[in-house]
Chains A and B, each alone.
Chain A
Amino acid sequence: MSREPTNHELIVEKHTRNLRDGYHVWSHDKTDVERALGDYRWTGEMILGTYYQAEHGRPPDNGLEYRVGASGGGFDVLDFNWLPEEKWLAETEGVDVSISLNRRGKGREITIPIPIYGGGMSFGSISEQVMLARAIAAKKWSTFFSTGEGGYPSSLVPFKDHIITQVATGMFGVREETIQHAPIVEFKYAQGAKPGLGGHLLGDKATSSVAALRESVPWVSLFSPFPFHSVYSVEDHRKHVDWIKTTNPEALVSVKVSTPTDVDMVAVGSYFAGANIIHLDGSYGGTGAAPEIAKKNIAMPIEFAVPKVHKYLLGENIRDEVVLMASGGIRSADDIAKIVALGADGAVMGTSELVALGCTRCSNCERGRGCPFGLTTTDLLLSEFVSPEWGAERISNLYQSYEFQLKDILRKLGLSSIRELRGRKDLLVYRGNGRK
């Protein structure tokens, strides 16, 4: 005997159905892309193309331009220097897109089969359902996702082998067990979207459950300071790393920094302090909570920062001992391949995962009840629009499409491994300023 659904359930059911129908219809049946959708970097076509990939696990074949945006710069004016077709590898079978996350030759070996993992998005900035979706997808692909600052709900503990936990400047949710659980601990020094401005979680999203996890006062805005109050120099940073290694000697250490002009120096300093991964976060990174004036205006674009750091690490003879991960405006498989060709080992994805779940890039993530699509919200009703299983499927499909495309790109460049692509700027061509 079935029970009458509650109003709440009816609302959730109706909205969920409509949203999912929308993601499908828009990415399949539209002949015109709504002009209000997207922006120059994340064009409407790219958003719909990502919806398509999230549904099918392969790139769209309906003419949507899913590879590049229309910004007129950066990735959007870089193309690949394809080999003539007769020199292509015969098949993608055997093309290797895995990367190692520890190249120091000591400590635990971690290899991820695709050169990407999920970037830091905290509980509070996104819902528990979205976190779980990312966790399931990361597990399925044997890769990782970062919990961001603020700890994580206990529902994520079963996925702890795929968790990168953040030690960020507010120290929210950082406890011995969160550090001891995680195979990788990420020090977040800054975000590319708002370098020098710390972190923000506005009061409306700091619900009782979010505040409970962070042990703060509910409904009060939470600001993570900049920088770490205990780290004002590189020897402080080294001590900081030594501390985490005392708490969890097995952990790999990732240092996430934004891209100031002396980012190369920061990278070398992090290496000497014992980092396994240097994670550069460029200026086009996500976060609706960043002050408008900061977004895209402070840090260096990732396309500039990566080659600068890559070159510097080469010069210091330590390039092969660190893993360089890039984030902050990497939207597609093409972008991933391009940033690797510019010198990174792999990429960290955040926004594109949310787009896979229906994000329209409306930039209303941070205030009020949060995201109307149920992504960047802590509202109990809204967050039910995303179920972890549905979300995991979408993210996983996107990864599958990326993997397919990356292998195809490598094949057409005559490379059998993504590791061979690293730093091969010669395989890129610049198409800006009217160049053909």
Chain B
Amino acid sequence: MKKDLMISKLIESRCSIVPESGFVFPRDETAEGGCGVIGMASNVQVPAKHMLESLKQMRNRGNGKGGGIAAVGLIAEEFGISQEMLENDYLLAVAYLDIRIRGKLEESFVAPVFDVHHTQVQPHIPDHTVLDGLEVPPPEVVIYFVRVRPEVMEAFIQENGLEGMSDRRVEDEIVFQNSYKLNTAYYESSGEKKAFVLSHGKNMLVLKMVGYGDDVIRYYQLEETRAHVWIGHHRYPTKGRVWHPGGAHPFIGMNEALVHNGDFANHASISEYLAQRNIYPLFLTDTEVAVQVFDLLHRMYDYPLEYVVEAMAPTTERDFTQLPEVKQEIYKKLQVSHMHCSPDGPWFFLIAQSDTHGEDGSCYRLTGITDTSMLRPQVFAWQENELENGEKVAIGLAASEKQGIDAAMLSLSESDRRFWPRADKYWNARGGSHTDGGAFIFEVRDDRGKAMPTISVFDKFGQAVQIPANTRPYAGHPVTELSSIALPEEALGDLFGWMKFSITNWKYSDLIQFLNSAFKTKSMTGEWDELLNLLTLMMDRRYDTGELRRSSVVSIVDEVFDSTLDAVGRYSPDGYRVLQSGEALPESESDNDAVVIDARGFAAEGENSVAREIVRLSQKGFKRIFVVRARGHRFLGSGLGPDTSGLRIDVYGSAGDYLASGIDGLEVHVHANGQDQLAQIMKAGKLVVHGDVGQTFMYGAKGGEAYILGNAAGRPLINAVGKPRVVINGTCLDYLAESFMAGDPLKGGGFVILNGIAFDEANQIVDLETPYPGGNLFSLASGGAIYVRDPRRVVTEDQLNGGEFAAITAADWALIKPYLEENERLFDVPVRRLLSVGGVEYPPEDVYRKILPAKVRALQAEESWVTADSAVH
């Protein structure tokens, strides 16, 4: 049978489940905006408890009115069944809001359709009220391992003319339709809600309830349950007084579960699109519609993932023109055909998929897709280990916030020595782009016992993410060899310099020996400043670590840093106080006194937050504040008021959103990646980030200096005015300096220097293919300038929308050189290296280009007379 005919027959077979009412224009019953999501995938099965801390730290993204998890690639013994049954049977999980109807439900929707091979009730803690804030009792969950009865298969094939179609496709469809009927009977939005299907894919389980996502794990006692792929979700529904677990995420299609952060405007039109294909969503949320679209495209239409992603998040604008011609042709067709199922608005999907089709075994996927405009935050991460026996163990993660990933990795590394806290790589997807397509896929392949499962990570186009090879991680490798290194006297003056020079020949034992000796020597002499400085430089700087993996080295340094601070807390050396949550504020005796805030016990926001503690300390006169062990604490540096020069804050760990927002004079140094919304409305002072920064960096900023070692995500410097001066060493996703209004840089205005560099495996500086991949650079700007390092002139006119290129003059170079020198001092990115291309140094005007606002093109007739001169008015 031809494929298109089969597809239409399958769709026709759904006529029996079309509701009598036909298409009803959906009216969101529980509209929602955002959510917090995390997903992880590994080729070894990991327990759910490692999502607990992550979800707890992202609780502000939910309101306790909906949470859920999905697990894919489970362990047979944990269910007391055979491996074969786990892989071949459908795992039908039914949520009973009223357990009394169980018999009746089974009689109508289980027994007649399925051969039931195993049944069990999902265990849970006896009393839900012990979980704080959990008001609505979670549903009783019964799990059935089932196969469709042969006679039911036969009848379905005959009835719908599906002869010749693979058994798997038919069986999937019967399971899908049966669940639909069950939901219609027991859970239609309009009717009484008594039971619904949580999930029905093979080797996949979804659980959800009216509460926070982490409480789902606690309530259903999943802490030790292991799976290859996990996703967790908090929901923030804003409407409806009575909530039902059916409205929580994840939502299911057939073999996939989807969680979603965001919402879209064309929910109704997508519902219509689905109705034309005999799919009538039941739960009245846009998330359900999204997963139905995914299922339709992937299972029913059998599109490869690439096409599914293209149909949902189309490649647009300049990115489209950058695609190879053959792709343009296919994508155009996809866009034209599926325009009406492309969610329009801010969204980020995480999809856990159990794809057990293949003859060559099972495949479990975690896919993250962002909308074309990247309106929701998203971070991906990857860590890979090679064990002594040569086996590879790797984990991929994706979340709304980097701190969520950090929390999961920390938790995992504490109980599983094969992992360590820092990932090898963190990155963002560029929505609807020709570079990565705005989607990343972590794929676990299990060839059923032949060998250990494997995992790979690739983007929408199937390009593997480059990960550090040729280096050895520390975790899981017992250090047996003894180190012979000793600290020479002359090294004590410049420990970092000596380490940097020596480490290329080191083994881990040498590194540990070095750190121990440094700690002993410097703590004995009371030179804590120097010790902390050494450790900080070891975290911040990029240097060749020889055969050692950078992420492992830094994880070890993190650990030594933490124990050093514990020692500082114990000995209280002169000039340092360690402040734990709940302790009384110390008094400042001298201007040099430093306070170290151990962030762990503090709240992420509110009166008991680190941010407010900093305000109180500053009022006490402290000028030097360290925040350590940050776990997503937000607003650090905010609330200090005007004119705070002289104060310096150093942040270690995972700093949260809005860091340094509104600062007016102080300095903030972040010794890690930053998150979203950093330095909003910054007025003056200095921000240094030894890593990447997230969305809308320096939105509406008025001034100050900022130095970013890595990349910025979408919309940096948007609507900035005044005189902000910024060095970004990497690149940005898109929309850099849109509506920039920062005067004339040569007369005191603002600018951004974009260096377009990255670091290779040996941590050496390399040039990016392009300093700016996006299609919108300096759009609608009326002031300020971009200085882009683009020696090969790859940035083109069509990326500008209202800007124009200008040559670098001597005055320009004199203006930006001091900032590049400061950049060199902070990050060890030499100016000479920046001016070099292929090892040859060029004059600045050959390397940098300036982008200026084009003459105002009369947005309004009255503006046509505005010229640069009249701006001095």
Q: Give the interface of A toward B (CB within 8 A).
A: 169-172, 174-177, 179-180, 202-204, 207-208, 214-225, 229-230, 232-239, 242-243, 245-249, 262, 264-266, 268-269, 272, 315-317, 367-368
Verify A247–B662 contact, CB threshold 8 A: yes
Q: How far does the alpha carbon of A160 sit from the alpha carbon of B354 in the complex, in Å?
A: 60
Verify B34–A233 contact, CB threshold 8 A: yes
Verify A219–B873 contact, CB threshold 8 A: yes
Inter-chain contacts of B641 with A (CB < 8 A): 176-177, 180
Q: How far does the alpha carbon of A223 sit from the alpha carbon of B703 in the complex, in Å?
A: 19
Inter-chain contacts of B63 with A (CB < 8 A): 272
Please tell me which one of the listed residues B32, B238, B638, B680 contacts residue A230 in the complex, with CB atoms under 8 A apart: B680
Verify A220–B683 contact, CB threshold 8 A: no
Verify B236–A235 contact, CB threshold 8 A: yes
Q: How far does the alpha carbon of A353 sit from the alpha carbon of B14 in the complex, in Å?
A: 62
Known A176-B640, A232-B34, A317-B241; contact A171-B699, beta-carbon cutoff 8 A: yes
Verify B664–A176 contact, CB threshold 8 A: yes
How does the 8 Å CB contact mask read for B185-203 relative to A, with 1 for contact and 0 for none?
Answer: 0000000000000000000
B95: Cβ under 8 A from any A Cβ: no
B741, closest chain A residue (CB): A216
Closest approach, in angstroms, between the C-beta of B869 and any C-beta of chain A?
11
Verify B642–A170 contact, CB threshold 8 A: no
* B821-873 CB contacts (< 8 Å) to partner A: 856, 859-860, 862-863, 866, 870-871, 873
Provide 14 A-B residue pairs closer than 8 Å at the C-beta atoms, listed in order of the A residue. A170-B719, A176-B641, A180-B639, A202-B863, A208-B873, A217-B783, A218-B870, A218-B871, A220-B856, A224-B719, A229-B718, A229-B719, A234-B34, A235-B36
**In the complex, the 8 A-B pairs of residues with the closest C-beta atoms, listed nearest first:** A171-B700, A233-B33, A233-B34, A234-B33, A269-B238, A215-B722, A235-B34, A232-B346
What would 13 more interface pairs be, CB under 8 Å, given A176-B638, A235-B34?
A179-B662, A180-B639, A203-B866, A217-B782, A219-B863, A219-B873, A221-B860, A233-B32, A233-B236, A235-B61, A236-B33, A239-B677, A242-B60
Verify B238–A220 contact, CB threshold 8 A: no
B724, closest chain A residue (CB): A215
Verify B699–A220 contact, CB threshold 8 A: no
Verify B863–A238 contact, CB threshold 8 A: no
Verify B642–A233 contact, CB threshold 8 A: no
Stretch at the interface among B143-151, B330-338, B602-610: B602-610
Verify B635–A243 contact, CB threshold 8 A: yes
Please tell me which one of the listed residues A225, A233, A243, A268 contacts residue B261 in the complex, with CB atoms under 8 A apart: A233
Q: How far does the alpha carbon of A316 sit from the alpha carbon of B31 in the complex, in Å?
A: 14
Verify B33–A176 contact, CB threshold 8 A: no
B657: Cβ under 8 A from any A Cβ: yes
Verify B238–A219 contact, CB threshold 8 A: no
B743: Cβ under 8 A from any A Cβ: yes
Verify B639–A246 contact, CB threshold 8 A: yes
Verify A230–B662 contact, CB threshold 8 A: no
Closest approach, in angstroms, between the C-beta of A323 and any C-beta of chain B?
19
Q: How far does the alpha carbon of A176 sit from the alpha carbon of B741 in the complex, in Å?
A: 20
B710: Cβ under 8 A from any A Cβ: no
Inter-chain contacts of A316 with B (CB < 8 A): 241
Known A229-B718, A230-B680, A246-B609; contact A235-B35, beta-carbon cutoff 8 A: yes
B263: Cβ under 8 A from any A Cβ: yes
Inter-chain contacts of B376 with A (CB < 8 A): 232-233
Interface size on B, as a range, is 35 or more
Verify A248–B657 contact, CB threshold 8 A: no
A238, closest chain B residue (CB): B60
Closest approach, in angstroms, between the C-beta of B684 and any C-beta of chain A?
10
Inter-chain contacts of B871 with A (CB < 8 A): 217-220
Verify B662–A232 contact, CB threshold 8 A: no
Q: How far does the alpha carbon of A242 sit from the alpha carbon of B36 in the complex, in Å?
A: 17
Verify A265–B31 contact, CB threshold 8 A: yes
Closest approach, in angstroms, between the C-beta of A194 and any C-beta of chain B?
16
Q: Give the interface of B toward A (CB within 8 A).
A: 28, 31-36, 60-63, 236, 238-239, 241, 261-263, 346, 375-376, 605-607, 609, 611-612, 634-635, 638-642, 657-658, 661-664, 676-677, 680-681, 683, 695-696, 699-700, 702-703, 715, 718-719, 721-723, 739, 741-743, 780, 782-783, 856, 859-860, 862-863, 866, 870-871, 873
Please tell me which one of the listed residues B62, B681, B860 contacts residue A202 in the complex, with CB atoms under 8 A apart: B860
Inter-chain contacts of A230 with B (CB < 8 A): 676-677, 680, 695-696, 699
Inter-chain contacts of B661 with A (CB < 8 A): 243
Q: How far does the alpha carbon of A237 sit from the alpha carbon of B873 in the complex, in Å?
A: 39
Verify A239–B657 contact, CB threshold 8 A: yes
A236, closest chain B residue (CB): B34
Verify B739–A234 contact, CB threshold 8 A: no
Verify B862–A203 contact, CB threshold 8 A: yes
B744, closest chain A residue (CB): A217
Verify A175–B870 contact, CB threshold 8 A: no
B30, closest chain A residue (CB): A265
Verify B863–A272 contact, CB threshold 8 A: no
Closest approach, in angstroms, between the C-beta of B761 and any C-beta of chain A?
35
Verify B658–A217 contact, CB threshold 8 A: no
Inter-chain contacts of A264 with B (CB < 8 A): 239
B615, closest chain A residue (CB): A246
Closest approach, in angstroms, between the C-beta of B704 and any C-beta of chain A?
12
Inter-chain contacts of B862 with A (CB < 8 A): 202-204, 367-368
Please tell me which one of the listed residues A238, A269, A367 contacts residue B860 in the complex, with CB atoms under 8 A apart: A367
Verify A243–B34 contact, CB threshold 8 A: no
Known A229-B715, A234-B32, A262-B31; contact A175-B238, beta-carbon cutoff 8 A: no
Inter-chain contacts of A269 with B (CB < 8 A): 33, 238-239
B640, closest chain A residue (CB): A176
Inter-chain contacts of B859 with A (CB < 8 A): 221
